[in-house]
Structure 1
């Protein structure tokens, strides 16, 4: 009888990881982009959604290139000081790569990226741990939006429900989430069922670099902030 493939051991040590070669490829790609495109932007993001970001990136595919990932790797590619920057002034944007941030290289006139970034936002369902933007409370009584098959699932999410003649009924008022407080896994599932979206995926431009000039977009930032960081 042939051996079963289901219980075949797998050696995890053979799994490929993103190591030095990957980092070097990213560094080289960023340096190529510096030479290819006219300007570079640093941007930050809120509530990243990979699919939505891909859609935004595809809009600029013919004229731009984006980089997300390790801030340290991107900083190395650009240069972290005047001494090791690959083009004059690039160490400034390197020091602004902090937290949830990325790079955009483009040859578009500067008014276009600024408008596209400022206008773009997309709403999605909040994930576990994110902060509720409003209080959602369900009142006692029938929940006509749910079918009777969902009653066991709703109970597992902590909702005080029962079936009354085949109709899902809330036996007491129930607070799904409270404004300003973290959303629990159960609350996240209930909000999705209710169709309530609390997460806004948004991109914010921080600064722009070109061989001719450098410009801040975030209010309050100055050259002194970069040099002192």
Structure 2
């Protein structure tokens, strides 16, 4: 009897690799933008969220071009040595393309770019492996959702989920309630999956999406200027890698 098609095993982890043509097109696109714009910035992303990076791309869509993804391919496009570099000086940017970094091409002045990114740090929910930015304690009494203003108590059907995440709740007039305060997390401590999920459920944002500008190349002179700024990439335990190539 022939095998049923329904019995066929399909791997859900298999991801198609980029073809040589796709990589070649990506390299050409990076090089074309290096020819087009006055400045090429190297940036680093802290607490990576695709949604926030898309916001940056949308806000700069008329005055910049962003590449974020495979550092090795971007480095190849720029040229990692003086002999291979696409334009004079670009190898100094290519050599720093490691980790969650990207390229930002623009004609805007360095002062304008640095000022804009210094002001752009939208808050977001922490994930497992992030460090708590502050101590958060749920007070005794009805457990409140902070998504709304003013906060509202959790509905009764959420109590099983709250108990699953470590809260010792009781029902008082149909509202999940704590008899004593509960410390969800302490400042500087790494968040567990349960802590991160509970903070999101309650509506507490512990992190900020940040873009750290590391250096910029000036087309006119070929000079690369390093930028000394605060570290934006947090060391995470068991964090997720979002290294999918993206352009605006």
Q: Per the shorter chain, which TM-score range?
A: 0.7 to 0.9
Unaligned runs of 5+ in 2: 145-152, 231-248
Counterpart-to-counterpart distance in 2, 1:95 and 1:133: 32
Counterpart-to-counterpart distance in 1, 2:133 and 2:107: 37
- Residues 148-177 of structure 1 deviation map (CA, whole Å, 9 limit, x = unaligned): 221111111111112133232213332211
| Paired position in structure 2 for 1:20 | 20
**Hey, which of these two has a bigger chunk of helix by percent?**
1
Shift of residue 134, structure 1, vs aligned partner: 1.0
Unaligned runs of 5+ in 1: 221-229
Larger radius of gyration: 1
Shift of residue 47, structure 1, vs aligned partner: 0.7
Distance 1:81 1:112, change over 3 A: same
TM-score when scaled to structure 2?
A: 0.79
| Paired position in structure 2 for 1:208 | 216
| Paired position in structure 2 for 1:223 | none
Shift of residue 78, structure 1, vs aligned partner: 0.6
Counterpart-to-counterpart distance in 1, 2:182 and 2:176: 14
Counterpart-to-counterpart distance in 2, 1:203 and 1:15: 28
Counterpart-to-counterpart distance in 1, 2:59 and 2:203: 28
Contact kept, 8 Å, 2:47 with 2:210, in 1: the verdict is yes
Distance 1:176 1:215, change over 3 A: same
Shift of residue 123, structure 1, vs aligned partner: 0.3
Counterpart-to-counterpart distance in 1, 2:143 and 2:35: 60
Counterpart-to-counterpart distance in 2, 1:154 and 1:219: 40
Of structures 1 and 2, the one scoring higher in RCO (CA 8 A, sep 6+) is 2
Distance 1:62 1:191, change over 3 A: same
Q: How does 1:146-185 map to 2 (within 5 A)?
A: 146-185=154-193
- Residues 5-24 of structure 1 deviation map (CA, whole Å, 9 limit, x = unaligned): 9x474755996332433322
TM-score when scaled to structure 1?
A: 0.85
RMSD: 2.4
Q: How many aligned positions are there?
A: 216
Counterpart-to-counterpart distance in 2, 1:149 and 1:15: 39
Counterpart-to-counterpart distance in 1, 2:22 and 2:111: 34
